[in-house]
Structure 1
């Protein structure tokens, strides 16, 4: 029997907020320099939709722009995110490595399932050396549907998971857990919403609370 804990990345393990505004401002500065944007950076709009795949992000942030402009913005934004990670501008949430160590010592397999793109996830895992604990990292890029539930299903099938949980901060994580027969643990962190967290099986305010949950 394979027990697994599948973690979301943004707003769950990685404090995306620390590099989000920097990278988004850089992207919209570029758009402004090209006369393709003439107002403030829509940081609050992005906060509201955190957790959706990046292509959908740019459809929301640039609804009147061409597909080409959206794709260019997406690529530049990704480059800035990765560069900011490599420059140490981001941070993990408290207790990530302690909890990972505890889970590994108790024979849980650890996976990442994120709506982030592969290059971005690789930068985080590499910079913080998370591959010491993580079995495999999965990006929504690997799923044609761009559906988190389908991504979780892929992990379950590939690794023969029979029991476990999905830990994340948004409704896509909670739904993905329930639709795949796993426990849904909601993280009451930066981007979380109370109406979404209310649908989780359990809610935590700090990752260290996972120790008590998985000792039972």
Structure 2
């Protein structure tokens, strides 16, 4: 049985798409009011790069803007994300709490390793009371390299994980698992890409499938 599970947050546990568009629209409306943007909000572009650290997001969405404008937009976007989480506009994916209950009942340790920022992750954990199950939530903000594999490595070393899996929807999660000798479980959810999922050891369409996978593997 797999004893330790390291989950991605966005697009894996949390349905980010429910707050993504409205928060991004808020951020670009702010740019419009400042006469710094006069086109459509690039929601499709963001969906394409979903999962990369936020500094890289703004490099892609605002390539012709100054670092100062990017940083201001990033800060405001984060404010709007957190406000929308706290107002209940987001949602966990189906069966998150049911699966977490099962894992805890079977003495499995649960961790979160995310490209999200510390305050953003804390808002989700707090709103949905995930601390009831999760040992530690780790943010890419804690890693200078902004490398998901290194973030997972820190968790593996800190907790002495030898029999574990990384569960996520993007290639960075799959690579993080393989780079650390863990099972790579890909989630075929909203932001997933077929070519990336093809590199996972296992692909699931619903988190409830983890109940049987965890019992069989390891």
Under TM normalisation by the shorter chain, which class is it?
over 0.9
Paired residue for 1:59? 59
Whole-Å separation in 2 of the counterparts to 1:214 and 1:161: 15
Matches for 1:32-51 after TM superposition, within 5 Å? 32-51=32-51
Show CA shifts across 1:118-143 (max 9, x none): 00000000000000000000000000
TM-score, normalised via structure 2 length: 0.98
Paired residue for 2:149? 149
Whole-Å separation in 1 of the counterparts to 2:80 and 2:41: 15
Aligned residues: 216
Three-state SS of the structure 2 residue aligned to 1:136 is strand
Stretches (4+) displaced over 2 A: none
Q: Which runs of 5+ in 1 are unaligned?
A: none
Are 1:203 and 2:203 an aligned pair?
Answer: yes
Three-state SS of the structure 2 residue aligned to 1:11 is coil
Whole-Å separation in 1 of the counterparts to 2:172 and 2:16: 17
TM-score, normalised via structure 1 length: 0.99
Q: Which runs of 5+ in 2 are unaligned?
A: none
Show CA shifts across 1:115-168 (max 9, x none): 000000000000000000000000000000000000000001111111110000
Paired residue for 2:77? 77
Whole-Å separation in 1 of the counterparts to 2:189 and 2:64: 32
Are 1:134 and 2:134 an aligned pair?
Answer: yes
Paired residue for 2:26? 26
Three-state SS of the structure 2 residue aligned to 1:161 is coil
Q: CA deviation at 1:215?
A: 1.2
